[in-house]
Amino acid sequence: MNPQGALVFLLDFAFSAYIFIVLTRFVLQLARADFYNPISQFVLKATNPLLKPLRRIIPGYGGLDVASLVLVIVLIMLKAVLILSIQVGGFPSGIGGQLVIYTLQELVSLILNYVFWAVLIRVILSWVAPDPYNPMVRVIVQVTEPIMAPVRKMLPPMGGFDLSPLIVLLGVQLLQILFKLH
């Protein structure tokens, strides 16, 4: 791998990891998860340096942490610009509109992938029957329950089988196909 490719890889990994953590903060607040959970505490401490100053400018709205969502969008744009600049050898002109479209597609793709993997992890955890008081298990349940509970209510009783994860996973896949985000 050439040095340019290695730099692109490292930047992509670092930005993607931090974007995931900031998106997790948004999802945790959206799901009203327990913020005394060690996982939640890690997320809070990792995101506070950038979110505290941003919150002075961008307040929350209707229980939504708008500042963290804005930070996710800014980080996606910054990642795209930095990687493109490295690959092309400078900032190409006239990519403003394309950057906005790319950012929105990436945001929707990120959220759909987040939901998909969270539900899939919850399904796998249900097979191994872990300790329900484990911090990771609690966070996964708290994040996925607001999505799965409405689906569960729509389904008729299935004799002890919960098919709501299957419906949610199919729904996410359908949305990814419709928006061509796969």
Where does the pLDDT of residue 162 fall: very low under 50, low under 70, confident under 90, or very high at 90 and above? confident
Question: What is the radius of gyration, based on Cα positions, of the chain?
Answer: 19
Supply the range of the domain harboring residue 59: 3-178
Amino acid making up residue 136 = M
pLDDT score of 181: 57
pLDDT for 1: 63
Give the pTM: 0.87
pLDDT tens, residue by residue, 48-66: 999 999 988 988 888 788 9
Helix (H, G, I), strand (E, B) or coil at 61: strand
- Largest alpha-carbon pair distance within the chain? 61
pLDDT of residue 113: 94
Span 104-131, mean pLDDT?
Answer: 90
CA nearest 31: which of 127, 89, 115, 103? 115
Q: Is the pLDDT of residue 24 over 90?
A: yes
**In which band, very low, low, confident or very high, does the pLDDT at 44 lie, cut at 50, 70 and 90?**
very high
- Give the other-Cβ count within 10 Å of 82's Cβ: 16
47, 68 in Cβ contact below 8 A?
Answer: yes
Q: What pLDDT digit, counting tens, does each position of 125-149 carry?
A: 888 877 878 888 899 999 999 999 9
Report how many domains make up the chain: 1
